[in-house]
Amino acid sequence: MKKTGAWLAVYALEQIGVKHTFGIPGVHNTELYDELNKSEKITPVLVTHEGCGAFMADAISRTSDAIGCLAIVPAAGMTHAMSGIGEAYLDGVPMLVISGGIRRDSGRHYQLHEIDQQRILEGITKAAFLVRTHDEVIPTIYRAYEIATSGEPGPAFVELSGDVQLFSGEVSELPAYQREWKPPVVDREQISEAAGLIKSAKKAGVYAGWGAREATAEAIELAELLGAPVATTLQGLSVFPANHPLHAGMGFGPSAVPAARRAFEGCDCLIAVGVRFAELATGSYGMTIPENLIHIDINPQVFNKNYPARVAIEADASNALRMLIDELKQTGVRPAGGTQVKQTIKSEKDAFFRSWTEKTNESRVSPGIFFRELRARLDDDAYVVVDDGNHTFLAAELFAVHQSKHFISPTDFNCMGYCVPATVGVKLTHPDKQVVGIVGDGGFLMTGLEIITAARLGLGAIFCVFNDGELAQISQLQTVPLNRKTCTVLGELKVDGIATATGAAYLRMQNDLGAGTVLDEALQISRGGRPVIVDVNIDYSRKSEFTKGIVKVSLGRFPFDQKLRFIGRAIKRHVLG
């Protein structure tokens, strides 16, 4: 049979369950978009910028069973999308990128968009393919999908040569997709060794990351069995419910909230599940990890990178935890100090949250009041999306997430501009759920115009812009040691103008007194299918525990003479101005 490469590509995407594609049509993918337009299973979505499309695709992969997919032009489309591709790569998020390509049958050189895309993308994709024949189209897309969704997930890239996409060619069959990858078999001896370490421990703790997102039930069962406190990474913030009495917070080192620091005191055996002990997750590597570390991860490359493991188990998190729980139950393990741990966590959490909410600010919006009022109005299954910035860590410390995969953030790639398009992507695939994006004014300036896509599609998402006129996280990090704000002052942003330009509703949250009323109105408007921008006059005068902790940890690692130089300079600048 004869089919065009564009037809074959759409057929393959349908077989692997793609629901939406994101991108901008151009010379090199017009035929692909024509076939997408005919599809009864896939909806192509126009975006304002391919980088935003990549963030939308990333968000879909994080919060649904479908893979996020891009349909882009080569060269500029690819380089625009690279921020989102890089985020997916470092955060372990599956993504499929389908790109048009130049014609390779013409013999011409210096064609429009002619560039070696595979070479450029080698460092930020799990695989990058160039399709030169019609027979390769379907198998290559299946292979890319398999790679993107297997082991530790990530992005995979497929370029369709222009002539293959445009013209009809002979293909021998139209195969259905059959999954080939299977999770690794869990080593029972390692499970027994891990159980032995736990049984001999005086106080075990659980540290869960994004890799445990499908193992929430097992993590809860293990924590309750051991009476163990649970901390999460930033990316894995949602994997253990924050309203569970054993949930301590994000991390447990000097950059963690008091509940987590106290709950993990004396921890002599740590069960780390789906984590990589990355810089953000560990508070600039400030956490003290016990010698008896049990590290479970699907990717064996993460073992022993920053902290040595006594037992390293390559496994799917759910499978490994299930076997570990069964082994512990068979040996009659008893929880150690669970009641005291729960009491410590509750008292410390209550005191910490009270310190953020006990005073009413009549001139600005206190982060504690904002997150208290937001949590009170959202359903348990609401989705919250954040950007990169000061608000990220305040959200991690002050907003309780109740369900796995319902809080997402750009983490190890840490790309500003993520929130707005990611919020659009989440709302697109969960139209019946409450979806709230929280973004700093700096990140909003990067991608805020993408709200026009939400307006065009009738997506009632809420975008809360923490507006203080600065790049607050870096501004704070500059102010303490340098008493300067170099290139971190944005100026006055008139958010209402962006609302007018994109067709969104606009609300102003001026101070604590009006926080609840404004959120009520935003939720009411959003239910009608209209996006809402909430301009939050945020008070950033108090630093997050994370910010204070990493400053202390980082300074503590400086050589003694350099530490004196930095401290001396800070004192001089703050005294003399």
Q: Do both 423 and 441 map to the same domain? A: yes
The string of DSSP codes covering 8-75 is: HHHHHHHHTT--EEEE---TTTHHHHHHHHH-SS-EEEE-S-HHHHHHHHHHHHHHSSSPEEEEE-ST
Give the pLDDT band of residue 174 (cuts 50, 70, 90).
very high
Residue 6 lies in a domain: yes
Residue 308 lies in a domain: yes
Q: How far apart are CA 420 and CA 469, in angstroms?
A: 18
- pLDDT tens track for 180-211: 999 999 999 999 999 999 999 999 999 999 99
Q: What is the CA radius of gyration of the chain?
A: 25
Q: Do both 513 and 365 map to the same domain? A: yes
- pLDDT tens track for 127-165: 999 999 999 999 999 999 999 999 999 999 999 999 999
Q: Do both 450 and 400 map to the same domain? A: yes
The vertex-488 CA angle with 486 and 493, nearest 5°, equals: 140
Please report, in angstroms and rounded to a whole number, the separation of the first and last CA atoms in the chain.
77
Last residue of some domain: 137, 170, 203?
170
User: Closest by alpha carbon to 471, among 492, 490, 445?
Assistant: 490
Q: How far apart are CA 193 and CA 199, in angstroms?
A: 10
Burial of 532 from C-beta contacts in 10 A (0-12 / 13-18 / 19+):
buried
Q: What are the tokens at 30?
A: 């017009």
Q: How far apart are CA 468 and CA 538, in angstroms?
A: 6
Whether the per-residue pLDDT at 479 is higher than 80: the answer is: no
Tell me the average pLDDT across 516-542.
98
Indicate the length of the chain as a whole number.
577
The DSSP secondary-structure symbol of 345 reads H
Containing structural domain, residue 481? 359-543
3-class SS of residue 493: coil
Note whether 427 and 463 are within 8 A (CB): no
Last residue of some domain: 170, 205, 230?
170
Any idea which residue has 């400053």 for tokens? 551
- pLDDT tens track for 435-450: 999 999 999 999 999 9
Question: Among residues of the chain, what percentage have pLDDT more than 90?
Answer: 86
Q: Do both 489 and 424 map to the same domain? A: yes
Q: How far apart are CA 209 and CA 120, in angstroms?
A: 30
Residue 536 phi/psi, 5° resolution?
Answer: -100, 115
The DSSP secondary-structure symbol of 315 reads S
Q: What is the CATH number of the domain that holds 68?
A: 3.40.50.970
Q: What are the tokens at 563?
A: 């530490």
Helix (H) or strand (E) holding 482: helix 472-482
Q: What is the CATH number of the domain that holds 218?
A: 3.40.50.1220
- pLDDT tens track for 30-87: 999 999 999 999 999 999 999 999 999 999 999 999 999 999 999 999 999 999 999 9
Q: Do both 479 and 531 map to the same domain? A: yes
Q: Do both 276 and 401 map to the same domain? A: no
Q: Do both 284 and 340 map to the same domain? A: yes
Q: Do both 268 and 373 map to the same domain? A: no
Tell me the average pLDDT across 253-279.
97
Q: Do both 467 and 566 map to the same domain? A: no
- pLDDT tens track for 403-423: 999 999 999 999 999 999 999
Whether the per-residue pLDDT at 559 is higher than 80: the answer is: yes
3-class SS of residue 84: helix
Q: Do both 411 and 443 map to the same domain? A: yes
Put the strands of the sheet holding 230-232 in their side by side order: 247-250, 230-232, 204-208, 269-273, 292-297, 311-314
Residue 351 lies in a domain: no
Whether the per-residue pLDDT at 336 is higher than 70: the answer is: no
- Number of domains present in the structure of the chain: 4
Please state, in angstroms and as integers, the Cα–Cα distance from residue 263 to each residue in 4, 248, 299, following that order.
61, 7, 29
Q: Do both 301 and 376 map to the same domain? A: no
**CB-based contacts of 569, cutoff 8 Å, min separation 6:** 481, 482
Residue 105 lies in a domain: yes
Q: How far apart are CA 413 and CA 51, in angstroms?
A: 14
Position 475 scores a pLDDT of 83
Q: How far apart are CA 228 and CA 250, in angstroms?
A: 15
Q: Do both 42 and 111 map to the same domain? A: yes
Count the neighbouring beta carbons within 10 Å of the beta carbon of residue 183. 15
**The model's pTM:** 0.96
Q: Which amino acid is at 576?
A: L
Tell me the average pLDDT across 280-309.
96
Residue 181 lies in a domain: no
- pLDDT tens track for 446-465: 999 999 999 999 999 999 99
Whether the per-residue pLDDT at 288 is higher than 90: the answer is: yes
Position 481 scores a pLDDT of 77
Q: How far apart are CA 455 and CA 469, in angstroms?
A: 26
Residue 364 lies in a domain: yes
